[in-house]
């Protein structure tokens, strides 16, 4: 008979009746006894667990009260999972707990640590209870250990999954944020680049820029690389290619904010500077761009004087 | 495959509708240069919007057309290069130096307009 089958039987038995004069299965009976024991000693065991958590200096990002409250919920969920042998409720709880504590900076080892501590605390209490009956202790542990391991696994996996979800979400956000193509005037785009340029990002950037030129019908693009500290020859070449590709779409590119290091790189790889318009800073670049688009920016008081 | 060459004012507009074989490309060059001479055009707009690929031969031919028409006193503007095509071209190291470019036909005409006004 499979374990699932056992459990299904057990659940039905528990729902139907509480007479259980005839135990269907010894393991089930043991687990019931176990759950009863855990319920009985709820306060003491919970306090012992919290004490161990504090002692091990886990969950330091949370206040004692918070730790105690979470510990209570975890304990109750834990006992319930043991009793019903279903992990869904615990899974859902682990997920919501992770959502709450990840932003607080709780680490994976802490979560695994506290679940294992609970396992230890409960095992110790079982040792204490059945110390005069080694046979029974053995059988109780047989019933307890697999379930406890499964529960520990569920909580840890739930935490890691939630963490991974957060990380991939952040990666996505960074990727989108990292290459904004902004229109500052009709026909004028700026592309501020901040951070490290690698070939992958350079390529993505070029594609996004070319698409931006199409959709905004841009005639001039200012690429500002003030925020890029250094770039290698491959990426510098890619920058030159970006300039050329933009020109093929009919857009002039002005590169601004070249750091001395990047200027050195460009000279070393022998970039044909005739192909690339450069200006010292973003302001200068935008001014040149406005000029070539026929814009003239004047302070309002002077403008009135002109009118 | 014939490339239609239209005349609008003193601008010739050639729209390449599909990928051209090398032979077609050569014929197109001859036809266009003839038209520049006979129609006394001052500018040529070549629209490559429909082309998915601009290989080295096509690029060279376009460059030649630009140089030759310049010798006849006309300006060449290449319009409608697709973003993917542009990216591939620069990665292959194909250049169109000396050829003016614009986003599309409308932009090309606007460019020539600005050029004339400046004169």
- CB–CB contact B103 A213 (8 Å): yes
What integer pLDDT is reported at residue A33 of this predicted model?
84
Select from A206, A214, A251 the Cβ nearest to the Cβ of B87.
Answer: A206
Tokens of A81: 């999972």
DSSP string of A67-136?
HHHHHHHHHHHHHHHHHH---HHHHHHHHHHHHHHGGGT--HHHHHHHHHHHHHHHHHHHHHHTTT-HHH
Q: Measure the CA–CA gap between A102 and A113, rounded to whole angstroms.
A: 15
Q: What is the pTM of this model?
A: 0.60
pLDDT > 90: what percent of chain B? 55
Tokens of A128: 């204490």
Q: Measure the CA–CA gap between A286 and A289, rounded to whole angstroms.
A: 5
Q: Give chain A positions within 8 Å (CB) of B102.
A: 250
- CB–CB contact B103 A250 (8 Å): yes
What integer pLDDT is reported at residue A306 of this predicted model?
56
Q: Measure the CA–CA gap between A117 and A94, rounded to whole angstroms.
A: 16
Does the structure's ipTM exceed the value 0.90? no
Whether A249 and B83 have beta carbons less than 8 Å apart is answered as yes
Grouping H, G, I as helix, E, B as strand and the rest as coil, residue B102 is strand
Q: Measure the CA–CA gap between A262 and A76, rounded to whole angstroms.
A: 60
pLDDT band per the 50, 70, 90 thresholds, residue B81: very high
**Cα pseudo-dihedral A103, A105, A108, A111, rounded to 10:** -90
What integer pLDDT is reported at residue A235 of this predicted model?
83
Whether A226 and A255 have beta carbons less than 8 Å apart is answered as no
Tokens of A222: 């200012």
Could you read off the pLDDT of B46-59 as tens digits, one per residue? 999 988 888 899 99
A267: Cβ–Cβ under 8 A, 6 or more apart, which residues? none
Superfamily of domain B5-118: STAS domain (3.30.750.24)
Grouping H, G, I as helix, E, B as strand and the rest as coil, residue B70 is helix
- CB–CB contact B101 A214 (8 Å): no
Q: Measure the CA–CA gap between B117 and B105, rounded to whole angstroms.
A: 18
B36: Cβ–Cβ under 8 A, 6 or more apart, which residues? B12, B44, B69, B72, B74
Q: Give chain A positions within 8 Å (CB) of B90.
A: 241-242, 244-245, 248
Select from A206, A241, A249 the Cβ nearest to the Cβ of B81.
Answer: A249
- CB–CB contact B83 A249 (8 Å): yes
Helices A42-55, A108-129: crossing angle, 10 deg rounding: 140
Sheet holding A252-256, edge to edge: A182-185, A188-194, A220-227, A252-256, A277-279
What integer pLDDT is reported at residue A16 of this predicted model?
43
Select from B101, B108, B111 the Cβ nearest to the Cβ of A248.
Answer: B101
Per-residue pLDDT of chain A (307 residues; tens, 9 = 90+): 444 444 444 444 444 444 444 445 777 788 888 888 888 888 888 888 888 888 888 877 888 888 888 888 888 888 888 888 788 888 888 888 888 888 888 888 888 888 888 888 888 888 888 888 888 888 888 888 888 888 888 888 888 898 899 888 888 777 766 678 899 999 999 999 888 888 878 888 888 899 999 999 999 999 999 888 778 888 888 888 899 999 999 999 999 998 888 888 888 888 776 778 889 899 999 999 999 998 888 888 876 665 5
> Does B107 contact A at CB distance below 8 Å?
yes
């Amino acid at each position: 008979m499979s374990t699932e089958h056992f459990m299904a039987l057990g659940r039905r038995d528990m729902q139907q009746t509480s007479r259980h004069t005839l135990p269907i299965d010894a393991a089930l009976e043991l687990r019931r006894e176990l759950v009863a024991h855990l319920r009985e000693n709820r306060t003491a065991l919970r306090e012992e667990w919290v004490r161990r958590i504090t002692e091990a200096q886990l969950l330091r990002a949370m206040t004692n009260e918070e730790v105690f409250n979470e510990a209570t919920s975890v304990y109750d969920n834990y006992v319930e999972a043991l009793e019903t042998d279903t992990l869904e409720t615990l899974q859902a709880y682990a997920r919501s707990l992770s959502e709450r504590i990840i932003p607080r900076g709780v680490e994976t080892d802490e979560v695994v640590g506290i679940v294992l501590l609970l396992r230890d605390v409960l095992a110790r209490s079982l040792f204490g209870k059945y110390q005069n009956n080694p046979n029974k202790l053995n059988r109780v542990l047989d019933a307890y250990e697999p379930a406890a391991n499964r529960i520990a696994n569920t909580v840890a996996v739930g935490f890691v999954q939630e963490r991974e979800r957060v990380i991939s979400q952040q990666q996505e956000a960074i990727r989108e944020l990292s290459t904004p193509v902004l229109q500052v005037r009709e026909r004028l785009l700026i592309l501020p680049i901040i951070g490290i340029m690698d070939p992958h990002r350079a390529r993505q950037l070029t594609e996004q820029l070319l698409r931006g030129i199409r959709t905004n019908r841009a005639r001039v693009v200012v690429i500002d690389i003030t925020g890029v500290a250094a770039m290698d020859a491959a990426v510098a070449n890619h920058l030159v290619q970006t300039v050329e590709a933009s020109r093929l779409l009919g857009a002039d590119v002005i590169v601004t904010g070249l750091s001395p290091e990047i200027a050195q790189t460009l000279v070393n790889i022998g970039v044909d500077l005739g192909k690339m318009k450069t200006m010292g800073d973003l302001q200068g670049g935008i001014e040149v761009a406005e000029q070539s688009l026929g814009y003239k920016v004047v302070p309002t008081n002077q403008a009135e004087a002109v009118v | 495959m014939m490339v239609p060459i239209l005349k609008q004012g003193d601008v010739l507009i050639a729209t390449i509708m599909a990928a051209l074989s090398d032979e077609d490309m050569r014929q197109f060059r001859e036809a266009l240069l003839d038209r520049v001479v006979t129609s006394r055009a001052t500018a040529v707009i070549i629209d490559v919007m429909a082309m998915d690929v601009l290989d080295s031969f096509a690029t060279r031919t376009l460059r030649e057309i630009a140089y030759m028409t310049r010798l006849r006193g006309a300006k060449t503007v290449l319009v409608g290069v697709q973003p993917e095509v542009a990216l591939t071209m620069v990665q292959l190291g194909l250049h169109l130096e000396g050829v003016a470019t614009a986003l599309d036909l409308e932009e090309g005409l606007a460019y020539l307009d600005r050029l004339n006004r400046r004169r």
